[in-house]
A = this chain, B = another copy of it.
Amino acid sequence: MTESLYALIMAGGGGTRLWPLSRSAHPKQMLKLFGERTMFQLSVDRLLPLLPPERIFVVTAAEQVGPLAAQYPELPRDNFIVEPLGRGTAPCIGLGAMVLHHHDPNAVMAVVTADHFIGRPDTFRDVLRAAQQAAEQGYLVTLGIAPRFASTGYGYIRRGELLGRVNGFDYYRVERFTEKPDAPTAEAFVQEGVYAWNSGMFIWRADRILEEIRLSMPDLSHALEALAAVWGTLAYAETLARLWPVLHKETIDYGIMEKAAQVAVIPADLAWSDIGAWGSVMELHPHDAAGNVLLGDVINIDGAHTMVFSQGERLVVTIGVEDLIVVDTPDTVMIARRDQSERVREVVEQLKAAHRQERL
């Protein structure tokens, strides 16, 4: 049943939310945040019990193909799809859908991310299998995450009527997508019990998403049809370079999902996190009795509720500190109050303003 199932791993991000470890040339998907495997390797690892490497595709930026392919030599080099520059998730997914549909007209594609944490990979594969069945009926299936708290950092999906049940998973019609809400709204959503976090992961038939792109984003659709016409020829690279930069940036949620027909959500408890800040990295690691997460060469004297994240040859010593996040890299050390780790954004802005490329 999974013969026409493919994965499209979106691995083009260059975010700075985990600065100073993440850098423009070393984005989150290339980091070892949880042991010895990079986020990208973990993303592929999770899929391999379900799919052979030949059916795992990666869409990314040109300069990341080499480093990512080196991290996973088992993946066929032709499975790396290059986006000349990031135009948001709608063009990115559209390009992947074009390639997969060309490859296999019956392709069902699971769109997954390269830089998120999934604590329950077994459940993840189970839900992909279930979602495939709904997708084969024509549904655009989104993976909804059972909310663990009233997060203001995630988008929310409100579910409507129950559409069916596959392998123990219910899937529902989607009533509404909501962008990141304010705190009272998030609280109300969680109370209501019919909302899920929007994980940004989807399963659908490639032909179905291309059909929706045709209806809602005709410019993108024209570009994809032009590319499909030259796919595999010498004209492809030139056509891509010409058409891609003039596309306007759009997310799949806003550009397609909010307007599409047959949109479904499968709520699942995947112990998922988008790891939006160092605080999340800390939460996802086991803590010692004093609430510390000490990774690397660390001597801690009476510190509490503190994370030290160090991967180099350096020794980090903490004495009597509380509620800190310390990230040590060869050229930079960051020390942040635990609840303010997302403010690395401000540091990155300062570095950009000062043209300090060597730290970006």
Which residues of A does B touch, CB under 8 Å? 20, 299, 301-302, 313-321, 324, 326, 328, 331-337, 339-341, 343-344, 346-347, 350-351, 359
B residues within 8 A CB of A359?
315
| CB-based closest 5 A-B pairs | A320-B337, A319-B336, A320-B340, A317-B334, A315-B332
Inter-subunit contact B316/A331 (CB<8 Å): no
Q: How far is the CA of A314 from the CA of B324 in the complex (A)?
A: 20
B residues within 8 A CB of A344?
317, 319
Q: Which of A20, A318, A320, A351 has the most CB of B within 10 A?
A: A320
Q: How far is the CA of A350 from the CA of B313 in the complex (A)?
A: 18
B residues within 8 A CB of A299?
347, 350-351
The oligomer's copy count stands at: 2
Q: How far is the CA of A102 from the CA of B344 in the complex (A)?
A: 64
Q: Which of A317, A339, A343 has the most CB of B within 10 A?
A: A317
Q: How far is the CA of A333 from the CA of B20 in the complex (A)?
A: 15
20 pairs, A vs B, C-beta closer than 8 Å: A20-B315, A299-B350, A301-B346, A301-B347, A302-B340, A315-B331, A316-B332, A316-B333, A317-B332, A317-B333, A317-B334, A317-B335, A317-B344, A318-B335, A319-B334, A319-B341, A319-B343, A319-B344, A320-B343, A326-B333
User: How far, in Å, is A336 (CB) from chain B's closest CB?
Assistant: 4
Closest to A308 in B: B335
B residues within 8 A CB of A302?
340
Q: How far is the CA of A281 from the CA of B317 in the complex (A)?
A: 19
B residues within 8 A CB of A347?
299, 301, 317, 319
User: How far, in Å, is A119 (CB) from chain B's closest CB?
Assistant: 27
User: How far, in Å, is A222 (CB) from chain B's closest CB?
Assistant: 46
Other A-B pairs beyond A318-B335, A326-B335, 11, CB < 8 Å:
A20-B315, A301-B346, A315-B332, A317-B333, A319-B341, A319-B344, A319-B347, A320-B340, A320-B343, A321-B324, A324-B335
Inter-subunit contact A319/B333 (CB<8 Å): no
User: How far, in Å, is A335 (CB) from chain B's closest CB?
Assistant: 5
Inter-subunit contact A331/B343 (CB<8 Å): no
Cross-chain contact of A317 among B20, B301, B317, B339 (Cβ < 8 A) = B20
Inter-subunit contact B336/A318 (CB<8 Å): yes
Inter-subunit contact B331/A314 (CB<8 Å): yes
Q: How far is the CA of A339 from the CA of B322 in the complex (A)?
A: 13
